[in-house]
Amino acid sequence: MSTSQFTATMTIPKDGKNLWTDIMQNPSTLPEGVTEGQYIAASYAKFSDGVSVFGGVAAGPVDSGYNYALFMVFDADMNQIGGWPIDPSDWEDFQVNAISFCIDPDCDGEDYELYIDEATS
């Protein structure tokens, strides 16, 4: 059971954890115009207080052999909060069920719990 004050669910495509892991670990040639840091696959979730998260897999450096998970957090007015309030930098895959985070730099816990769920069809 979550002890976070706010919870939300981000729904990714059916079998998305495997598909997005493959995009992270086995990047193909990117389409023309896609550069490092741009999203290749992404989804969205909104918390009851208006905070929202946009996240997924972003293009890695050219010829690096990998892409990476990237999540951006926005307040109720769609202003980006912080630089990296969710840090998935050590992820090697997308096999995650939930992400806990806090938007206040002085927070002593995790106020937000983002569940990652796959669509059923």
Q: In the chain, which residues have pLDDT < 50?
A: 1
The whole-number pLDDT of residue 27 equals: 81
- Distance separating alpha carbons of residues 62 and 35, to the nearest angstrom: 8
- Distance separating alpha carbons of residues 118 and 41, to the nearest angstrom: 14
Residue range 32-49, pLDDT digits in tens: 788 888 999 999 999 999
The DSSP call for residue 108 is S
Residue range 50-65, pLDDT digits in tens: 999 999 999 988 778 8
Among residues 60, 56, 57, which one has the least CA distance to residue 36? 60
